[in-house]
A = this chain, B = another copy of it.
Amino acid sequence: MTAQATNRAPRRVPLSRERVLDAAIKLVDQGGLGSLSMRKLGQELGVEAMALYYHFANKDEVIDGIVDIVFSEIELPTDGTDWRTAMRRRAISMRDVLLRHRWAINLMESRRNAGPANLRHHDAVIGNLRAAGFENAMVARAYSLLDAYIYGFALTKINLPFDATEEVAEVAQGMLQRFPVNEYPNLVAYIAEHLKPGYDYGDDFEYGLDLILDGLEKASSTA
């Protein structure tokens, strides 16, 4: 039972891409992309920063990795689901994922090295639309429109400089206070009438989503 008996474990479990990426996601979910530094990441793993470069070529490769993890969390269309249901579920799942990983939005479509989950996702969506009879031009339009809406919604919602509903009016008022009264009458009226506590900007997501799906359905049936 002495320590050296059973070859007492290598002085430390070696790193792995997976362990590093998990730690990176944790860091970044907490403090945003800005709080992901190689030094902090190393610290989180009990290792010097430079150790990470044994497993990743550079920081970008780490980011590629966590982006693909985010993609893997989005619900894929299952075979045979009709396109409208599949797209609706995907959109809502994607919005949830993006809101859970607020840092990811800017990166999802910008990486030159798409990971397997990313490609799988695109493959499944395109497959579902093609199976539903959409021709290529229509696949492109539908996909572009839906993704733009989902990303854009997540982007605007995440970037809103307030979180809780209660604060909305306050922040808005604060912004306006620095300007002459009645400089922005419509904005003022709108805020006063509409931004009451209880209003959640996020509720409008499904309204817009269904409006878009309606439009696509009509377009695909008359084509």
Contact = CB atoms under 8 A, between A and B. Distances in A.
- Count of chain copies: 2
Contacts of A151: 151-152, 155-156
Contact of A211 (B120, B155, B171, B219): B219
Contacts of A31: none
Interface in A142-197: 144-145, 147-153, 155-156, 158-161, 171, 175-176, 179, 183-187, 189-190, 193-194
A119 interface: yes
Contact of A119 (B108, B161, B176): B176
Q: Quick one: which of A120, A123, A171 has the most chain B CB within 10 A? A: A123
B215 A140 contact: no
A208 interface: yes
A221 B64 CA distance: 46
B175 A207 contact: no
Interface string A127-139: 1001000001101
Contact-size category for A: 35 or more
A185 B125 CA distance: 12
Contacts of A194: 136-137, 139-140
Interface of A is mostly: helix
B179 A119 contact: yes
Contact of A149 (B127, B148, B175, B201): B148
28 contacts: A105-B155, A106-B159, A108-B159, A109-B155, A109-B156, A109-B160, A110-B158, A112-B161, A116-B179, A119-B179, A122-B184, A122-B187, A123-B184, A124-B186, A126-B186, A127-B186, A136-B190, A137-B194, A139-B190, A140-B201, A150-B152, A151-B152, A151-B155, A151-B156, A152-B153, A211-B219, A212-B212, A212-B215
- In the complex, the 8 A-B pairs of residues with the closest C-beta atoms, listed nearest first: A152-B152, A148-B152, A127-B186, A110-B159, A145-B208, A136-B194, A211-B215, A123-B184
